[in-house]
Amino acid sequence: QDDEETYTSEYLLTYPCKTFAEGLTDTLLQHGFSGQADDAKEKIAYVRECCKQRGVTLNPEVIKSWFCGTRPNSGERSRDSLFRLCFALGLNDRETASFFQKVYFSCPFNFRSAKETVIWYCLRNGLGYPEMLSLAEQAEQLINGESAAELTKPQIHFRPSADEAFSKGSRCFGY
């Protein structure tokens, strides 16, 4: 048996693969759920109550599907639902990242997305879902406003000559 086989078998023993429903159940148990782990109705009711307490809207059919063996698709709509779930459970940014990596098997935050950057900021700073919605809307307006302004500004291009770029006191090289 070579080192790679040994590593692989040790890894699989240390990090057993779980279904999405199993990983979600583990997450619930770590964050306040004290009901029967094998009772889907109890888990669904718990998630719905968490949503209600924290002002999160989440489709009940989606919640039900998660506990009935349906893994969320990869895509923006599923990511949005999972972020809502994380807010509902009161997860912070690190717990959310761990959930995305270990349960959903996906990159936790796409920082190229203004909304996901706002989500990260809110989770990191203990802000709730309603605050996140407000900040995300403000960010979107700011981005759209700046984009429109940038398109109407005249473009000025400055290209220094080689002598200017390399001369002492040049702003290009700062010496």
Q: Is residue 44 within 8 Å of 60, Cβ to Cβ?
A: yes
Whether 115 has a pLDDT exceeding 80, the answer reads yes
Q: How far apart (Å, rounded) are the C-alpha atoms in residues 101 and 92?
A: 14
Q: Among 103, 92, 118, 105, which residue's Cα sits nearest to residue 67?
A: 103
Q: Among 112, 82, 111, 114, which residue's Cα sits nearest to residue 98?
A: 82
Q: Name the strand (E) or helix (H) holding 23.
A: helix 20-30
DSSP 8-state symbol, 128? -
Provide the pLDDT for residue 37. 94
pLDDT band at 71 (very low <50, low <70, confident <90, very high): confident
What is the rounded average pLDDT of the residues 64-85? 91
More confident residue, 38 or 147: 38
Provide the pLDDT for residue 165. 47
What is the rounded average pLDDT of the residues 17-29? 92
What is the rounded average pLDDT of the residues 155-166? 50
Provide the pLDDT for residue 18. 84
